[in-house]
Amino acid sequence: MRNYKARPWKAILLLIPLLAVACDIGNALFTDEELDSMYEISLTQNGSTLWPGSLVSPSKGLAVSVTGIDGAPEAASVELSLIAPDGTEAARLVFSTDEASIPNARAVKDFSSGIPSFTMPPGLTDGYYTFRIYIRNGPGETLSTYTTALLVMEKPITERLSLSVYPGSVSAGEISLLRLVTDGYPEGVDPWIRWVVDGSVQAVGFASEHADRLAWRAPEISGVYVAKAEIYPFRPPVGLDIPPMAQAKISMPLRTDEPSVDLLADNGEWSRLSFDGDFVDKGPRPREHEPTAIGSPYLETYASGFGYLLGDGDGVASASALVPVRNPDGRLAPFSALFVLAQPTGGAANGSGSLLSVSGKSESVGFEIGIDKGVPYIESEASRVTASIALPRSGATRLALYVSPSGTGAAVSFYIDDEPAGGGILESGLFETIPGACRVAGDAGYVAVYDELRIFDRPYPAFRIAEESDENGYVISASGFEGGILGPGFATEGDVAISNGRLRLGWDARLYVGPPGLPPQASSLAFTLVSGDAAASLALENGATLTIDSDGRISIDAEDSGLRIDARHGSRVAFALEPAGNGLRIYGQDGAWVPIPSRPAPEARWTLGATATGPATVTEVSARAFDASSAILGG
């Protein structure tokens, strides 16, 4: 069978001339392929050739045109079969030069005189109809066949179409979501969409099944990639090359700059659901099976990204624990969890529902993390701890919590967009739990676009993440001491005590901030003073030691220099230095500066300690570097 593709438009006669040889040599000398190639068959309506996928009017006449080459065997009949979209035969019509030999055939004196035009049956529903035309000889042997598809549709797709890319740019090796944007479709039409990227078909499906979006991983090779969404008003017949009724196209330049840094890569990741087109756990936890979908979750977009729309029955199930466990007894270990959530279009800003449910094995208790009228909570047995504030009403939100043992219960700290959001003690034997199967959203689940879920076996470093997100310079070291962890880039000496979110410095204690050697450009040090008074010191190139007290007083080798800066606003202490000539400028929070006649020593780094007045407690310590003095303290 031969399926003809588009050719230049030309007028086609309604006659069917058959060129016969003077001497009939029969069919036996030709293969089926040779016989088929001797005829060219086409359909016309209103004098125009109907190519595969052409829109036709069922009430207007159709005609067949057949052209045979010299030597082609003589045709005795032309049979037309119309196949409906559901695969059933909608109509059959036979024209024959010998009416008596073919029942119900329409008589044609000879095909050289042509055959009358015909119409499709009345009352056809919209869709693609397959036309099959057979040319046969007297004994009924098939000489040639032709198959095409014609579209019956009252109103074609004329709406505006475009493609959008989330999160806005395409990076090498990263997954982006391509989404078809339209004003709508004709009433009752559920388009069939085919995605083609760089000439390769990626996916097909109905718009109602959310095939109007495609998760696509960009290659590692730089270049400009072209994506097309080809739109068919109905699912086209298989095996025919039918052009789309409409299409949207976008060119995607591939970014090959340095990939974004994962700020949580060294935070003891246990499990990670990235929700970028699958439910595979990218974390290292031991497991026999990957998580699976509950219901019919689908990819959805928000202003700056995409994820799966979960909740209200749709979710993810894991047969094994997504939360960390202690070896060898398998009981729950301290953990932190990060949810990146966004409200879908038209979603409820203060909704309620479960985010993560963890069941307990061997009659041990389980627990649930969820949202109640916009406010996050964790619940186990009859105890519940809630955050002090609700989630923002718009945009993507980073909700994190850290859960650790506290007496017979559990201490809980919430963070919203990396800022503290309250906490408390969960009065439950939570850490006697042997965690088992887990569920993300699902029945009674919180309705949102789930962009990411990550679970760690250590505290969530909210302050460091917030500092790293600040585009004013770059972070040398930062820590909020969450969970009593010092954090990378810090070291201590002497009488130091660390608790959740606090670091206490005794009279002889030292907190070293960052590695030895300050950056050559401007840099700063900031910390929050919880109690007492603290001072920062720095070794100078001339052998002296520079000390800045929390009240802004500057000393050189413990001698008051008479210099002052505006260092403290409330409990926050901050100052910066900038190399200038053979010395330094020390800046306060008001932007004013004082000169110091020496540069830092080559291996110098900031050191925090208590003053002579007694111990000091600090938190949220951060050292940063800057490219320009105008941005030293971020205004």
Domain of 196, CATH number, reads 2.60.40.10
Give every strand in the sheet of 510-513, ordered side by side: 490-493, 510-513, 606-610, 534-539, 545-549, 553-556, 559-564
Give the Cα separation of 509 and 535 in Å (integer): 11
Contacts by 42-48, CB closer than 8 A, 24 or more apart: 42/4, 42/12, 42/146, 43/131, 43/133, 43/148, 43/150, 44/12, 44/14, 47/11, 47/12, 48/9
432 and 495 belong to one structural domain: no
Cβ atoms of 413 and 425 within 8 Å: the answer is no
Residue 124: helix, strand or coil by DSSP?
Answer: coil
Of residues 338, 341, 294, the one with CA closest to residue 319: 294
| pLDDT for the residue 30 | 62
Q: Round the average pLDDT of the chain to a whole number and report it.
A: 89
Find the mean pLDDT for residues 416-442: 95
Find the mean pLDDT for residues 280-301: 96
Query: How is 159-191 classified by DSSP, letter by letter?
Result: S-EEEEEESSSEETT-EEEEEEEES---TT---
Report whether pLDDT(21) > 80: no
Question: Residue 306 maps to which CATH number?
Answer: 2.60.120.200
| pLDDT for the residue 140 | 86
Give the Cα separation of 144 and 1 in Å (integer): 7
Tell me the backbone φ, ψ of residue 111, rounded to 5 degrees. Answer: -70, -20
Give the Cα separation of 196 and 194 in Å (integer): 7
Q: Which residue type, as a one-letter code, is found at position 319?
A: A
The two tokens of residue 258 are 């340095």
Residue 25 lies in a domain: no
Distances (CA, A) of 37 to 40, 135, 146, 150: 7, 12, 11, 23
Cβ atoms of 294 and 315 within 8 Å: the answer is yes
Each residue's pLDDT tens digit, 159-199: 889 999 998 889 888 999 999 999 888 888 999 999 999 99
Each residue's pLDDT tens digit, 84-136: 999 999 999 998 887 657 888 888 877 766 678 899 999 999 999 999 999 88
| pLDDT for the residue 66 | 78
287 and 337 belong to one structural domain: yes
347 and 225 belong to one structural domain: no
Question: Residue 103 maps to which CATH number?
Answer: 2.60.40.2550
Residue 60 lies in a domain: yes
| pLDDT for the residue 554 | 97
Each residue's pLDDT tens digit, 457-512: 999 999 999 999 887 788 999 999 999 999 999 999 999 999 989 999 998 999 99
Each residue's pLDDT tens digit, 314-329: 999 999 999 999 988 8
Residue 552 lies in a domain: yes
Identify the DSSP state of 540: B
423 and 409 belong to one structural domain: yes
- The lowest-confidence range among 22-31, 34-43, 284-293, 620-629 is 22-31
Find the mean pLDDT for residues 70-95: 90
- The lowest-confidence range among 23-27, 79-83, 147-151 is 23-27
Of residues 439, 444, 488, 441, the one with CA closest to residue 463: 488
Angle among Cα 340, 341, 342 to the nearest 5 degrees reads 135
470 and 619 belong to one structural domain: yes
C-alpha atoms less than 13 angstroms from C-alpha of 464 in its C-beta half-sphere:
23
367 and 483 belong to one structural domain: no
Report whether pLDDT(542) > 70: yes
| pLDDT for the residue 24 | 41
Cβ atoms of 162 and 179 within 8 Å: the answer is no
Contacts by 197-200, CB closer than 8 A, 24 or more apart: 197/225, 197/226, 197/227, 197/228, 198/225, 198/226, 198/227
Identify the DSSP state of 212: T
Query: Can you give the residue range of the structural domain that contains 400?
Result: 269-460
Domain stops at, among 225, 255, 285: 255
Angle among Cα 602, 603, 609 to the nearest 5 degrees reads 130
Domain stops at, among 223, 255, 287: 255
296 and 391 belong to one structural domain: yes
The predicted model scores a pTM of: 0.84
Cβ atoms of 42 and 4 within 8 Å: the answer is yes
Report whether pLDDT(256) > 80: no
Report whether pLDDT(155) > 60: yes
Give the Cα separation of 549 and 532 in Å (integer): 11
As for how many domains the chain has, the answer is 4
474 and 617 belong to one structural domain: yes
Of residues 584, 310, 289, the one with CA closest to residue 449: 310
Angle among Cα 370, 371, 377 to the nearest 5 degrees reads 65
CA 277 to chain centre: 7
Cβ atoms of 94 and 64 within 8 Å: the answer is no
Q: What percent of the chain has pLDDT over 70?
A: 91
| pLDDT for the residue 55 | 94
Report whether pLDDT(18) > 50: no
Nearest-10 Cα torsion for 445, 449, 455, 461: -120
Residue 360: helix, strand or coil by DSSP?
Answer: strand
Report whether pLDDT(76) > 60: yes
Distances (CA, A) of 130 to 151, 152, 174, 474, 576: 9, 11, 41, 64, 77
Find the mean pLDDT for residues 348-376: 90
Angle among Cα 195, 197, 198 to the nearest 5 degrees reads 150
Residue 367 lies in a domain: yes
406 and 540 belong to one structural domain: no
Find the mean pLDDT for residues 611-632: 83
| pLDDT for the residue 348 | 54
Residue 186 lies in a domain: yes
Query: How many Cβ atoms from other residues are within 10 Å of residue 504's Cβ?
Result: 18
Residue 26 lies in a domain: no
Of residues 483, 488, 519, 521, the one with CA closest to residue 621: 488
Confidence of residue 261 (pLDDT cuts 50, 70, 90): confident
| pLDDT for the residue 633 | 54
Residue 312 lies in a domain: yes
Give the sign of the dihedral formed by CA 577, CA 579, CA 580, CA 583: positive
Confidence of residue 64 (pLDDT cuts 50, 70, 90): confident
Report whether pLDDT(6) > 90: no
293 and 435 belong to one structural domain: yes
Domain stops at, among 460, 495, 516: 460
| pLDDT for the residue 69 | 77
| pLDDT for the residue 393 | 85
- The lowest-confidence range among 37-46, 425-434, 480-489, 623-632 is 623-632
The two tokens of residue 216 are 């696509």
139 and 177 belong to one structural domain: no
377 and 286 belong to one structural domain: yes
Residue 342 lies in a domain: yes
C-alpha atoms less than 13 angstroms from C-alpha of 273 in its C-beta half-sphere:
30
Identify the DSSP state of 390: P
Angle among Cα 507, 512, 515 to the nearest 5 degrees reads 170
Give the Cα separation of 253 and 222 in Å (integer): 8
